[in-house]
Amino acid sequence: NAGVTQTPKFQVLKTGQSMTLQCAQDMNHEYMSWYRQDPGMGLRLIHYSVGAGITDQGEVPNGYNVSRSTTEDFPLRLLSAAPSQTSVYFCASSYSPAGRFYEQYFGPGTRLTVT
Amino acid sequence: TQLLEQSPQFLSIQEGENLTVYCNSSSVFSSLQWYRQEPGEGPVLLVTVVTGGEVKKLKRLTFQFGDARKDSSLHITAAQPGDTGLYLCAGGSISNFGNEKLTFGTGTRLTIIP
């Protein structure tokens, strides 16, 4: 079991470039989410998904797109990178069948710098 | 937007001392989770509390959920260097799909000095 994997681990982009952060999980979890972590602000939810084909926005969705074509994968796309998107990005998954009190399993993170 | 404020933001104490970290909000949450995060890694769940007034113990760590389910505290007894890390609280609320989604607090960075 690899758990939650994220690639790449580090990335430097120029303003205006686009890219996709990859996230995969092998635990057959329905619920997946993307967070960004900035100093002094904890983790903020960008987008989440409750199953293949079903996604919704979190607190800070602007500038990011997601899709969920399979249970395993949940990529995050930056459409036109901006310096404000410099952050550490975490993907998480959990088993959450319209229920509560679930544990989220986090990936190791992607450190993104936009210059 | 629900906000969770943690205090203190930074805490540095000597090994063997006791400490308390607080997590406060004006919103009511369906559950409250505490995570610990090591440098370069993702957060790892420590505990989930779901009932107002609930107290859970995990070895030297004691977690309490406020009676009104708006706040929580984490108390560490006889802190050890292995307790060093970033502590994050996270409040649960119901998403548009009926699942619970989490709002994370601002974090407390704890350093235990040997």
pLDDT tens-place string over residues A30-55:
899 999 999 877 899 999 998 899 99
Rounded to the nearest 5 percent, the helix, strand and coil shares of chain B are: 5, 55, 40
Q: Is the dihedral of CA A26, A28, A32, A35 positive or negative?
A: negative
SS3 B81: helix
Check residue B95 and give its pLDDT: 78
Q: What is the mean pLDDT of chain A?
A: 92
Nearest-CA residue of chain A relative to B107? A42
> Among B102, B103, B109, which would you mutate to test the A interface (most chain A Cβ atoms within 10 Å of its Cβ)?
B102
pLDDT tens for B85-97 read 999 999 988 877 7
Contact flag B95-A48 (C-beta cutoff 8 Å): yes
**Res. B100 pLDDT band, cuts 50 70 90:** confident
Check residue A113 and give its pLDDT: 97
Contact flag A50-B95 (C-beta cutoff 8 Å): yes
Looking at the complex, report in whole angstroms how far the Cα of residue B101 sits from the nearest Cα belonging to chain A.
Answer: 9
